[in-house]
Structure 1
């Protein structure tokens, strides 16, 4: 489910049409609101087949499918940062042909990124972007470009650019970089297994060429017309023995219609020979699909009266403490919060709670604080609220009651409350103080049933597969830290037939993944005994044993050091596992391995970017490291990319050269009009290979505790009063 300069003399030629049309009409472009850019047939912001210099709104995600004359492309585009976007693409080209198989159809994956150098501003300044197509892939679509776009009137945007590689196929001119080095005139077309960065190809080749076009958003609401001049020759697509595409013209024409805010369809006349189609589905983590203000509001609260009795006698009466605690527990149950323990320390009370409803932790803290404010006797001056996650006591939030009362009706209550609360790693010592513990708390049973979509790309029998499972998980908790967990997955659609054994030369630790998802019978995904604990206020640990994931069983241990006030953490894990049989729920094979990693985690504080580096031994016995970069949004959305390099050679690894992929986490709260803390994850991976494979263990400690640190709390503190 994250994952960079041509010569300036070329720019005036590429922008000539923009400058001519822009004359005298800049005032209109200054005032009109900017619509979201349209998507081209490569999944990027652009014209039809050619790119533009525009950028999507920050965080925008777009899934698109385009097709013309035997060429189809499926794309995921993510606006990584306001000026940086990336596109993951999986393409099928019919009748590609090759000497040993004239009927061969090519399945190809590629990755693009684009960096916007300038933004379109009032006056003469256009937007300017530098782009790299098929930066990671086989190189079938490889090309670089410098492109400019200008909105010349509110409804018209003009684009012009210069390109290399696939962008220099027709009507080119000598590559200016050849004047710097003769080596720049040669472009390497041997891409091997693909999947490697193509630094040696950038801006190379004998020719460069110009491209451009115009986009008109018509007065008819939602309808856009486009025309472009394409510099792509499509030479290879026309050379297969059975190819029937005939590029007759460099001009493309099209019309697109925006059905709703997130759905656009388009039709095109391509290269004087073919009809094309495109559909794009788009959404933004910052724009939920459903209203976010439904549900029951918090209980009203007021400050203590000036003449409130301040007696402390109730604290010495066990019966009164119990009645009070029981009442508070019932009130918090209504709020979706489970009160597990209260420690009475004179004018201070410590409460331990579990958030069972809210997607944002500060909202649970705020609801609990309201209950304490209403229910606690007036002599209590400080509330310490500790949050539990998956059995771990994570963070203690200290609330000064007098400060809280002064903020209740203030316009700046959000910021003021954040400035006056304290945060620390949870580490309670109740010795000598009376403690109320919720009766009959353990053993307890929790369960969830959630739809789990998955997307598998470039499987051995087809280029893409979309499926849906119904996943049920049950937790029997014996104590706060000890539990038994079982997970069962029922395929609903998109199921596999058994493809047979992999031909990988490495141990088949992941290349047989399709076998573990084949068939329509329910699958045991995990069956484990788990124990989580804390060594001190900043150090967490866990041990798990059993069927850890779909493909491996064994013993897993992990430790994490992560102070609440620190933006980084260190972890280590170690496991001994045996591979499970794909066709027997409890059966094991003879393959076993010791695997483990040292990990470093860093929350950069910059646009929610997080970095994780793992180094150690993988499931196939190979050694290496994995870099994961994730952008997380305050509401729980996350998009990440990872890449793994190990001592397995590209040849032994096979297609793709090394392991990489994209992960997406979607909070259910974004899609439904009620409170829930449930989340769903989707992985966009290339074909499953064995090199660089890690255990897929649920509830890694970092994922469990990170949202309870200062940075995450601050992000979401606006929900404290909701």
Structure 2
């Protein structure tokens, strides 16, 4: 229900996806995208521009010059809104020691920051000659090291892109004019740069300061394909980076020049001469959820749909003959298995006019495609007397949604040009009943066992002293199904490559419910992230429930339960979960003695599919692992192909001082479907969490079998958005 935030190290195959950008087959042709600056946002070199990326574009970039390194993750959130999360290292920043107060000139700063940019006007949108105009906020949710706002305009003139803008805060250090907002109120002339622990919205500093900087530059796309040259005037003087006596970075000029080369769509490298003193470097990897890395291989086509013959036998005696039912269900199960579906149950109503099948989709990322393939199998294999197909989707043992299809309509629609819309208009969708009738045919396969053994690269970010670490685990994931909805999950992880050592206990004013998470990922001994018994079931057509017990996640074991009310025709749902958990030992998979800590945690949750660009909102309110009370707000953009990019923040009654760096919990999550990177069908997804820092306030329990993610894709709104794949 609430809370699925991981620890400091998150097993993920995002690295495989990023690498695939570089090694995949030749990419589909695309329009040359605007380039990224050293902050990972669309721009010149160090300055921003008013251009935006294609909708949903995702980029990972790394830049370096002088004493500064930046690791950026950026996303075109909506067609006119882009954002970035950044982790920077600034060598020899210099700072007073917190314990002794003695100044340390060799202190290296590890800084986290968030950016957002709004496109106010696209190029040529108002008049053919008008430029693009954007309003941006840099480091608006960080420590304030890069805090700045800007209003920028960009115009393309043949092969040249010209940019000019006004900057406040850090972008107002040189080439300045007076701040026009000072004429509105004297308070605008003062800018407070003390952000405390950071991580707070710095709205009270927006557009403040005595001066405004005027910056600009030009990008030239040369006749050499993929090569661009850039020059800019920067209004950032990097004064703070030069403060420490140990710093060897100097600013001798405000003019930066550089060259960038697009190796292929998705990979750009750049070299620069920065501030008259330093050589800089940038590499950016980009992909788009709306465009797969490799062309799809549709494999074997679906079964043909042939209308029943006018003289087809319409006898119905088979519907009351158990032997006929068993033979028919077994034959359908074999055909469906070849299509990637598993037949869980089969029931023919008396009279032989209506048949219900329950299926688990093991193959297709798109569930409407699974419904369509199943309908084709039923049309080919059921007796001619059957006029109504009822197809119920089963996920993790839960009966979710039933799609009712009229067979005659189905047979007639296949040849029509608007078959997709007609099929949607003529079907019925309802919440599935908790169980099939007692006399239904059921798959006899319990106990049933499934497993996977996969390499699991992981990316450790945002850890001071070790800002980025790439390593490898080998993960064995198993599920033993004892009955419908009842199963044991067992996961074993073997650290294999570049595993960190135990960093020791964290310094925290709260119970170390998450700040000690790096200890649980350290060392080469095998780990057991999960060993749990779970029971998922329905109370009625709209209400789902779950009971779980055992080692629930890497850091906690205990017992818990969850309930969810989500009608299939409704865009929102509500739920609640409650758990009693104890903190596991970091060095003993079955021990609970080291921390001797337990807590009751739980949340009430509201889920809402907004229907706008795939945006999904979630609010969780309740008690967290450290015993604090508060709420988590999550906004996620989900794509029909399984991609999802989300951001969240949590506010609780933990004070800023007790929480520590970052002031409150916040972060970004990313879900990547394997289907995006490979030519064959698969439902496998991988998740990475980019958190600002692992802290104890607002920490939630990770639950691998939470109900809403299981049933999310089976309501009317999501099925309709993806129904175009029904006939594929």
The 8 Å contact of residues 178 and 211 in structure 2, kept in 1 or not, is answered as yes
- State the SS of the aligned residue for 1:373: helix
1:70-113 CA distances to partner (integer Å, 9 max, x unpaired)? Answer: 21100000000000000100001111112421110111010000
Partner of 1:398: 404
Aligned pairs (5 A) from 1:561-640 = 561-589=565-593, 590-640=596-646
Contact 2:642 2:671 in 1 (8 A): yes
Distance in 1 between residues matched to 2:49 and 2:497, nearest whole Å: 38
1:243 aligns to 2:247 (yes or no): yes
What is the match of residue 72 of structure 1? 69
Q: Work out whether residues 452 and 680 of structure 1, in 8 Å CA contact, stay in contact via their aligned partners in 2.
A: no
SS of structure 2 residue aligned to 1:137: coil
Q: CA deviation at 1:686?
A: 2.0
Query: Is the CA contact 1:303–1:406 (under 8 Å) kept in the aligned structure 2?
Result: yes
Q: Is 1:455–1:684's contact at 8 Å kept on the other side of the alignment?
A: no
Are 2:106 and 1:103 equivalent residues in the alignment? yes
Distance 1:352 1:557 in 2: 26
TM-score (norm 1): 0.94
8 Å contact 1:214–1:228 — kept in the other structure? Answer: yes
2:164 corresponds, among 157, 160, 167, to 160
Could you tell me which runs of 5 or more consecutive residues in structure 2 were left unpaired when the two chains were aligned.
6-29, 97-102
**Number of residue pairs aligned between Structure 1 and Structure 2:** 689
Worse-matched range after superposition: 138-147 or 457-466: 457-466
1:22 aligns to what?
Answer: none
Q: CA deviation at 1:204?
A: 0.5
For residue 173 of structure 1, report the CA deviation from its aligned partner: 1.5
**Structural mapping, 1:316-327, within 5 Å:** 316-327=320-331
Matched, 1:348 2:357: no
Q: Is the 8 A contact 1:454 1:683 kept in 2?
A: no
| CA distances 1:43-81 after superposition (whole Å, capped 9, x unpaired) | 010000000000000000000000001211000000000
C-alpha deviation, 1:715, in angstroms = 2.0
CA contact (8 A) 1:399 1:422 kept: yes
Corresponding residue number in structure 1 for 2:11: none
Instruction: Give the structure 1 partner of residue 116 of structure 2.
Output: 113
Give the Cα–Cα distance (whole angstroms) in 1 for the partners of residues 226 and 435 of structure 2. 63
Q: Deviations over 1:398-420 (max 9, x none)?
A: 01001000111112111111111
* Moved segments of 4+, more than 4 Å: 428-431
Residue number in structure 1 paired with 2:131? 126
Evaluate the alpha carbon distance shift between residue 596 and residue 684 of structure 1 in structure 2; reply closer, same or farther with a 3 A threshold. Answer: same
Q: Deviations over 1:445-482 (max 9, x none)?
A: 11223443433323143222233333221111011111
Alignment partners' CA distance in 1, 2:61 and 2:727: 39
Residue 487, structure 1, aligned to residue 528, structure 2: no
Aligned to 2:100: none
Q: Who is 2:37 aligned against?
A: 40
Aligned partners of 2:226 and 2:262 also within 8 Å: yes
1:301 Cα deviation after fit: 2.2
**1:428 Cα deviation (Å)?**
6.0
Match of 1:147 in 2: 152
Is residue 340–residue 441 contact of structure 1 (8 Å, CA) maintained in 2?
no
Q: Verify the 8 A CA contact 2:60 2:285 in the aligned structure 1.
A: yes
Q: Is 1:413 aligned to residue 419 of structure 2? A: yes
Please give the root-mean-square deviation of Cα atoms over the aligned residues, in Å. 1.4
Identify the residue that residue 61 of structure 1 maps to in structure 2: 58
CA distance in 2, matches of 1:329, 1:196: 56
1:651 pairs, out of 642, 657, 663, with: 657
2: distance between equivalents of 1:434 and 1:311? 21
Please state whether the residue corresponding to 2:95 is helix, strand or coil.
Answer: coil
d(CA) in 1 for partners of 2:386 and 2:357? 13
**2:449 is equivalent to residue 445 of structure 1:** yes
Query: SS at 1:135's partner residue?
Result: coil
1:94 aligns to 2:91 (yes or no): yes
Partner residue, 2:395: 389
Q: Deviations over 1:388-442 (max 9, x none)?
A: 10110000000100100011111211111111111111016655x852222x321
Distance across 2 between alignment mates of 1:175 and 1:477: 67
Quick check: 1:287 aligned with 2:291?
Answer: yes
Give the match for residue 433 of structure 2.
Answer: 427
Residues 352-372 of structure 1, C-alpha deviation per residue, up to 9 Å, x if partnerless? Answer: 111111111111111111110
Higher RCO (Cα < 8 Å, 6 or more apart): 2
For 1:478, what is the secondary structure of its paired residue?
strand
SS of 1:630's partner is strand
- Partners of 2:148 and 2:320 in 1: CA distance: 77
Name the residue aligned to 2:506.
502
Return the match for 1:370 from 376, 399, 404: 376
C-alpha contact 2:57 2:289 (8 A) present in aligned 1: yes
Secondary structure (helix, strand or coil) at the match of 1:397 reads: strand
- Distance in 2 between the 1:610 and 1:126 partners? 33
Which residues of 2 match residues 655-670 of structure 1 at below 5 A? 655-670=661-676
Farther off after superposition, 443-452 or 647-656: 443-452
Give the match's secondary structure for 1:655. Answer: coil
Provide the C-alpha distance between the structure 2 equivalents of 1:364 and 1:203, rounded to a whole number of angstroms: 53
Residue 50 (structure 1) aligned with residue 47 (structure 2): yes
User: TM-score, normalised to structure 2's length?
Assistant: 0.93
